[in-house]
Structure 1
Amino acid sequence: MERRDSRLKWYFHAIAYGFVPAAIAKTTLAPLERIKLILQTQDISNLPVHERYRGVAHYLSSVPSREGFFGYWRGNCASLLSIFSSTSMKFWIGLRIRNIIIRGSKEKTTFEKMLLEWCAGWITGTLIMTWAYPFDLARTRMAGDFGIRRHRIHASSWSCIKSAFDEHKIKGAYQGYMISVATMGPYLGLAFYLHEEIRQWMENNEQSEYKEIGKYFSAGSLAGLAAETLFYPLDTIKRKLQISKSEGYTEGYDSILSCVKGTLKSQGVRGFYRGVLVNVVKVVPTIGINFAVYDYFQAHQIEFKVRKASS
């Protein structure tokens, strides 16, 4: 019973230490996340061009008078729900899947290790994303609902999810899901592979706990930054599909191909990279914290097993 209680205690600590730092980072950077989503999707909004945000500076200066000060954090509650849902599954599912698939990978070639990382990342990411996806969709739609306060479409995250479900049932709550599944494996696989390679490159046996956490954070930030930037156009497509043909966005796309064609026609290649610089600023601390917490608890998971075996 004592071992089971210790295991349960470790699990809840993992959730707490995973959720709290990520929630703080997300909430702090929520204004940047919101303008990124707006820049990605406002070209298909019903709002006249003169009522849209022209860029980061215009957004930062206009939100308080137009939407109220807390407009910077519109959609953040849905984001926190998504983080909590994914965090509660990540440590329970992610570590187990990775331990099963990556086991014995030291003897494999670099290419084989990358394939294993992709496989583990895709399975873990797909399971987590499937659970938390409606919250992610709500975050996109809430952030994109940037009309004047009295003209807002969605009152809360729950009403946004309900509205999506009422429109097209399950399909409505999972709009844009397929491109997310298709890109999840390559994205997470690349991120985890780069993270592992960078972390090993930074290895130093004589490290304090703070230096070790700093190593985890640096490796995660660099890996996440590279993966996020490379896959950013696909994220733009996903966001547009999430918001397409919803209330306030009657102009939209029926498929990935129509989204690509429509974006190229209206904005050119640049349209896929709207908000990418803002994303770079916010991604470093957020992903760095996520990877640092993941590495820290993975190390403690190993220590827990060693203590358990020795007892």
Structure 2
Amino acid sequence: MQETKDSQPKSPSDLGKVHPALKAFVCGSLSGTCSTLLFQPLDLVKTRLQTLQNMHPGSPKVGMLSVFITVVRTERLFGLWKGVSPSFVRCVPGVGIYFSTFYTLKQRFLQERPPSAGEAVLLGAGARCVAGIAMLPVTVIKTRFESGRYNYISVLGALRSVCETEGPRALYSGLMATLLRDAPFSGIYVMFYSQAKKALPHEVSSSGLAPAVNFGCGVVAGILASLATQPADVVKTHMQVSPALYRRTGDAIRFVYAEHGVGGFFRGAVPRSLRRTLMAAMAWTVYEQLMERMGLNS
């Protein structure tokens, strides 16, 4: 019996044309895997810096290098990757959700034309809100893993423990602070990134130097976006590590200011800026190269 035309298997190129958003999800997830594994130690050091001194009021300041050395001495080298499992659970699908949402919004509203500065802000912020809300429970667990205050064994065990002891609502602690951090970060990042690329000559952006150019644009955009959203990151960390102490965003803001002044809102800025900048630059570079290889316009 002959196979009908419809029953014949589709070629890879046919399948590629059917689900472009799924391709964007896969490209984003792959880029998130690489960047998460490389830069997890910086995220752990940032979290420890933001929470360590609150355990001992009045103690001398602790720097990034001191925290790094302490973790290696007390928890060995692999202690720097504590929290990497929830980071993978969060970042791999989270980055995929972000890029597939970004791609879908861009194709739906811009129809292949480059975004203006304002449109880039809305695209980045909108995509990040979707990904941030979807992955917030894992973000809470990840922050607690990194803080060193909780003895969770696994991501699923931690989720179950929080639901049983604190209620499901605790998994959404710091939601407002997270959105106030992530949405502006992505909006500012995409705006500077897209405008920097647009300002480059076409000969440069389309040459073999494209990956390096994309990475350079990403670094500049990441530094600016990280500094602008650092205060929200500090508030978010406090709320997720100690949700019983900070029921509302305003409680955490008042505590940080009362204990450490304005400078307290920029604690952990160096490791976070390094991580977010390099992670975002790498994610976008890998994403755009993969999308180009799949024949899609990122």
Instruction: Give 1:264's aligned residue.
Output: 257
Asked if residue 144 in structure 1 is aligned to residue 147 in structure 2, the reply is yes
TM-score, normalised by the number of residues in structure 2: 0.83
Aligned to 1:187: 185
Deviation of 1:183 after TM superposition, in Å, equals 4.3
Asked whether the equivalents of residues 19 and 87 of structure 1 are also in contact (C-alpha less than 8 Å), the reply is yes
**Matched positions, count:** 287
Task: Give 2:202's aligned residue.
Answer: 204
Structure 1 distance, partners of 2:113, 2:177, is: 29
The answer to whether residue 177 in structure 2 is matched with residue 165 in structure 1 is no
Q: Does 1:42 align with 2:52?
A: yes
- CA change 1:115–1:197 in 2 (3 A) is closer
Between the aligned partners of 2:47 and 2:204, the Cα distance in structure 1 is 43
2:154 corresponds in structure 1 to 156
Contact 2:222–2:278 (CA<8 Å) still a contact in 1? Answer: no
User: What is aligned with 1:242?
Assistant: 240
Do the aligned partners of 1:63 and 1:71 also contact (CA within 8 Å) in 2?
A: yes
1:233 aligned partner, one-letter code: P
Q: Within 5 Å, which residues of 2 pair with 1:7-46?
A: 7=17, 14-15=24-25, 17-45=27-55
Contact 1:122 1:186 in 2 (8 A): yes
Aligned residue number for residue 57 of structure 1: 65
Query: 1:122 touches 1:189 (CA, 8 Å); kept in 2?
Result: yes
Which range is displaced more, 25-34 or 74-83? 25-34
Q: Report 1:63-212 matches (<5 A).
A: 63-103=71-111, 113-145=116-148, 153-205=151-203, 209-212=207-210
1:51 Cα shift?
10
The residue number in structure 1 matching 2:279 is: 286
**2:3 counterpart residue number:** none
1:281/1:183 CA distance change after superposition, 3 Å: closer
Distance 1:290 1:117 in 2: 17
Q: Is the 8 Å Cα contact of residues 53 and 59 (structure 1) preserved in structure 2?
A: no
Flag the 1:304–1:79 CA change in 2: closer, same or farther, 3 A. Answer: closer
The aligned amino acid for 1:24 is: C
> Is contact 2:27–2:291 with CA below 8 Å preserved after alignment?
no
Match of 1:154, SS state, is coil
The 1:184–1:35 alpha-carbon spacing in structure 2 relative to 1, beyond 3 Å, is closer
The residue aligned with 2:7 is none
The residue aligned with 2:6 is none
Q: Give the letter aligned to residue 19 of structure 1.
A: S
Equivalent position to 1:223, from 205, 221, 224: 221
Shift of 1:52: 10
For structure 1, list consecutive stretches of 5 or more residues without a partner in the other structure. Answer: 147-151, 306-311
- Mapped to 2, the partners of 1:90 and 1:119 lie a distance apart of 13
Helix, strand or coil for the counterpart of 2:209? helix
Aligned AA (2:44): R
Q: Which letter does structure 2 place at the counterpart of 1:257? A: G
Unaligned runs of 5+ in 2: 1-9
CA 1:123/1:167 → structure 2, altered by over 3 Å: closer, same or farther? Answer: farther
- 1:16 CA displacement: 5.1
CA distance in 2, matches of 1:50, 1:267: 10
Residue 309 of structure 1: aligned partner? none
Post-superposition CA distance 1:132-163 (Å, at most 9, x none)? 222211111000015xxxxx522222222222
Q: State the distance in 1 between where 2:254 and 2:57 align.
A: 21
Q: Which residue of 2 aligns with 1:5?
A: 15
